[in-house]
């Protein structure tokens, strides 16, 4: 083989090796990038996914909202535990019977309730729920009004069903006392 052919052959071999090395490096880089993307995707899905318990609690919170507006005694009883402690923002604490009776007899009434900023945290068979409540109210002997509350609820899972165990509210101060548009 002539020296010239040998050099051309060596050059081609070097080019192929360099090309193969570049391709291999790019493939390794793409594998790493793909792996990183998959890991980040899993973290994102996990962070934003609601558990089955969180979904069930959210349904119960909505059912409670509707029962409070309707003053539905049966629904209110079915959503709460017998030893419920219901603390109002005006420093009144009621048992389940007091809470249910006051809504069912229209002693105090919500004509409208909107819930925002709902957060649900589950730990075993107990969950805490926080949210803001904006409502139109009518209490016996008083003019209709509006209320803006921060609410914290404790829910317990009993026989597979989430039930309200405790609730406490506080009045929201400006500018948070205005419901979102």
Q: 117-149 pLDDT, tens per residue? A: 999 999 999 999 999 999 999 988 888 999 999
Domain boundaries, the chain: 1-49, 52-171
Tokens of residue 119, six digits: 């957060």
In the numeric block, the tokens 């979102």 are attached to 180
CA torsion sign for 108, 109, 113, 115 is positive
Single pTM value for the model: 0.72
What's the confidence (pLDDT) of residue 176? 86
Q: What is the CATH T-level fold of the domain 52-171, as seen in this structure?
A: Nuclear Transport Factor 2; Chain: A, (3.10.450)
pLDDT exceeds 50 at position 45: no
CA torsion sign for 51, 71, 90, 117 is positive
């Amino acid at each position: 083989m002539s020296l010239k052919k040998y050099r051309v052959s060596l050059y081609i071999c070097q080019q192929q090796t360099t090309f193969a090395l570049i391709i291999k490096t790019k493939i390794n880089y793409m594998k790493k990038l793909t792996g990183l993307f998959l890991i980040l995707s899993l973290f994102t899905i996990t962070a934003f996914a609601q558990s089955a318990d969180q979904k069930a609690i959210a349904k119960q919170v909505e059912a409670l909202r509707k029962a409070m507006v309707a003053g539905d005694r049966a629904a209110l009883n079915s959503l709460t535990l017998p030893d419920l402690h219901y603390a109002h923002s005006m420093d009144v604490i009621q048992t389940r019977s007091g809470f249910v009776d006051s809504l069912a007899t229209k002693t105090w009434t919500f004509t409208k309730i909107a819930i925002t900023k709902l957060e649900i945290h589950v730990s075993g068979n107990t969950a805490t729920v926080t949210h803001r409540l904006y409502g139109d109210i009518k209490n016996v002997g008083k003019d209709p009004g509006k209320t803006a509350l921060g609410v914290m609820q404790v829910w317990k899972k009993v026989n597979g069903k989430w039930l309200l165990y405790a609730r406490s509210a506080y009045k929201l101060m400006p500018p948070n006392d205005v419901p979102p548009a």
